[in-house]
């Protein structure tokens, strides 16, 4: 983006300046990055009730199979995304836009399958939705679906469930990769919080839209598809300021002997370990394209820094999923009616979205700038540690609601933006290829690990929440240690690469 374009948006810049410290040349990048997240999350939370309804109609016993299906599809999708990002003739912004449009088209396809499906076998008809009342209980009449149609349901509801789950992970990860690619460490520390607020606002808007227009049923998929197209259009305008170009960062490798060697490798363009720009050219010219499928895994395996990032995200996923199962168990045992449980879940989600949005708009950039990335990364693990103790001492739905709200607010206001800063000190290859693998695959493995752990503990300890909560403490401690190490390491790398903020 050039300076002329930037100077044409003084009103937009003045408005954004009310919430964060932003330079004029960053205005359009921040606006379109935030818009992309808003549209992606709006689409996801519009279809989320339809996805959950489909999962329930399959039967509770089939939900573990859906998790397994999500993991298997992720194992296929992540290498394919790596391959597409490695193609030399395809600019990465175009690949990113293609990902979003693929999911947009998928939603249209599922809409067609949904409408053409026999109402008495799989899905409620659109006419049925028109006759429903506005209450949640009447909006989700999943109990009317015949149990005998589970085989048919799996073919449609099952694929819909795992596709939406993949949509959530890949589109968000790719969007963050695109944003991290056009920002440096200093600008990211100021702007990531506000950009993340776009995602939270999308969550809030999408949920309210789906609630108010639940009678539309499968026709909500068309609206979600339109939101994905808007996200693709916004992503085209996420560009680096052309008046202040920055050089390509070099990939981090295990072969780095010490910090001084790393500095020399950054400064000397013909170093043995450094890669000529663009970094993807080396991989593409030295290996067959088939092996590009494994580039993301290779980049992670060959970098101790990315291995630590993977461990951090895995621990985060394990802890988050563990708290999710714990929340469901506590609420199911303390709130006796289905309507009461749905109402409580909705209240928790609403409180979380509002507080996260307020925090991202006003606090995130200041916290990252003042406290630094190390404190940001350790904040969520420390909060999870305290939450585990609180639930062990007081295993009630009130404790769960308060703990869940505090944990997610800290996660998305403080730790999540700090986590994205970890990728401002890696190469473009690592931002697109390795990051997608880390965000998508590690997340799914963490979910599966937590599900297995909780199922084992729940059966072994006879469902005693007090005892189960205590088993999360060692995981939280390891998570804190990992966050502390990563924060220190990222700060060192930022200094070695002469980035303006560290």
Q: Are 391 and 469 in contact (CB under 8 A)?
A: yes
- Retrieve residue 301's tokens: 């395996």
Higher per-residue pLDDT: 378 or 118? 378
Mind listing the pLDDT tens digit for each residue in 392-418? 888 777 887 788 888 888 898 888 888
Most confident range, picked from 26-35, 182-191, 328-337: 26-35
Q: Are 111 and 221 in contact (CB under 8 A)?
A: yes
Q: How many CB atoms lie within 10 A of CB 495?
A: 15
- Straight-line distance from the first to the last Cα atom of the chain, in angstroms, rounded to the nearest whole number: 26
DSSP string, 187-210: HHHHHHHHHHHHHHHHHHHHHHHH
Q: Please report which confidence band the pLDDT of residue 363 belongs to, taking 50, 70 and 90 as the band edges.
A: confident
What's the per-residue H, E or C state across 340-355? HHHHHHHHHHHHHHHH
**Burial bucket for residue 101 (CB in 10 Å: 0-12, 13-18, 19+):** middle
Domain boundaries, the chain: 21-241+295-496, 259-286
Q: Are 356 and 409 in contact (CB under 8 A)?
A: yes
Mind listing the pLDDT tens digit for each residue in 91-122? 777 877 888 888 889 899 988 888 887 554 44
Half-sphere exposure of 217 (CA within 13 A, CB side): 22
Residue 260 has pLDDT above 50, yes or no: no
Mean of pLDDT over the chain: 71
Q: Please report which confidence band the pLDDT of residue 44 belongs to, taking 50, 70 and 90 as the band edges.
A: confident
- Measured CA to CA, the distance from residue 459 to residue 349 in angstroms comes to 28
Q: Are 199 and 41 in contact (CB under 8 A)?
A: yes
Q: Are 368 and 376 in contact (CB under 8 A)?
A: yes
Q: Lowest mean pLDDT: which of 291-295, 392-396, 436-440?
A: 291-295
Mind listing the pLDDT tens digit for each residue in 263-287? 344 344 333 333 333 333 333 433 4
Q: Please report which confidence band the pLDDT of residue 245 belongs to, taking 50, 70 and 90 as the band edges.
A: very low
Residue 339 has pLDDT above 70, yes or no: no
Can you give the pLDDT at residue 315?
Answer: 92
Can you give the pLDDT at residue 286?
Answer: 37
Q: Domain 21-241+295-496, CATH 3.40.640.10 — does that match?
A: no
User: Which residue shows structure tokens 């003739």?
Assistant: 89
Can you give the pLDDT at residue 345?
Answer: 61
Contacts of 458 (CB under 8 A, 6+ apart): 329, 468
């Amino acid at each position: 983006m050039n300076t002329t374009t930037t100077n044409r948006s003084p009103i937009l810049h003045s408005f954004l300046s009310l919430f964060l410290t932003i330079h004029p040349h960053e205005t359009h990048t921040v606006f379109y990055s935030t818009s992309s997240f808003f549209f992606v999350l709006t689409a996801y939370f519009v279809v989320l009730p339809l996805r959950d309804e489909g999962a329930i109609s399959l039967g509770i016993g089939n939900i573990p199979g859906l998790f397994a299906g999500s993991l298997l599809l992720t194992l296929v999708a992540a290498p394919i995304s790596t391959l597409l990002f490695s193609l030399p003739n395809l600019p990465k912004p175009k690949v990113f836009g293609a990902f979003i449009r693929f999911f947009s088209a998928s939603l249209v396809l599922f809409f067609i399958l949904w409408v053409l499906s026999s109402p008495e076998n799989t899905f409620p008809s659109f006419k049925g939705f028109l006759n429903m009342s506005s209450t949640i209980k009447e909006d989700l009449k999943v109990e009317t679906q015949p149990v005998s149609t589970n085989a048919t349901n799996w073919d449609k509801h099952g694929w819909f469930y795992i596709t939406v789950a993949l949509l959530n992970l890949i589109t968000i990860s790719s969007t963050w990769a695109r944003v991290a690619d056009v920002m440096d460490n200093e600008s990211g520390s100021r702007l990531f919080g506000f950009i993340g607020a776009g995602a939270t606002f999308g969550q809030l808007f999408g949920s309210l839209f789906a609630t108010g227009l639940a009678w539309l049923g499968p026709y909500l998929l068309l609206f979600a598809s339109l939101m994905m197209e808007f996200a693709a259009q916004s992503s085209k305008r996420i560009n680096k300021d052309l008046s202040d170009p920055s050089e390509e960062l070099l990939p981090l490798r295990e072969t780095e002997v010490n910090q001084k060697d790393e500095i020399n490798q950054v400064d000397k363009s013909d170093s043995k370990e450094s890669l000529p720009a663009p970094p993807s050219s080396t991989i593409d010219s030295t290996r067959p394209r088939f092996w590009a499928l494994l580039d993301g895994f290779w980049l992670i395996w060959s970098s101790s820094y990315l291995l630590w990032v993977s461990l951090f995200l895995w621990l985060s996923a394990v802890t988050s999923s563990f708290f999710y199962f714990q929340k469901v168990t506590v609420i199911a045992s303390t709130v006796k009616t289905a309507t009461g449980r749905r109402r409580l879940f909705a209240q928790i989600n609403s409180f979380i979205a509002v507080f996260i949005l307020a925090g991202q708009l006003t606090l995130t950039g200041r916290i990252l700038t003042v406290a630094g990335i190390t404190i940001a990364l350790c904040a969520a693990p420390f909060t999870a540690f305290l939450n585990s103790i609180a639930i062990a001492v007081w295993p009630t739905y009130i404790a769960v609601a308060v703990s869940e709200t505090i944990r997610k607010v800290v996660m998305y206001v403080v730790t999540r933006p700090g986590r994205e800063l970890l990728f401002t000190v890696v190469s473009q290859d690592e931002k697109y290829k390795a990051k997608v693998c880390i965000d998508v695959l590690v997340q799914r493995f963490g979910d599966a690990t937590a599900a297995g752990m909780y199922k084992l503990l729940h059966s072994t300890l006879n469902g005693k929440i007090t005892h189960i909560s205590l088993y999360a403490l060692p995981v939280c401690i390891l998570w804190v240690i990992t966050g502390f190490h990563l924060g220190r390491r990222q700060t060192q790398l930022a200094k070695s690469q002469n980035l303006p903020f560290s």
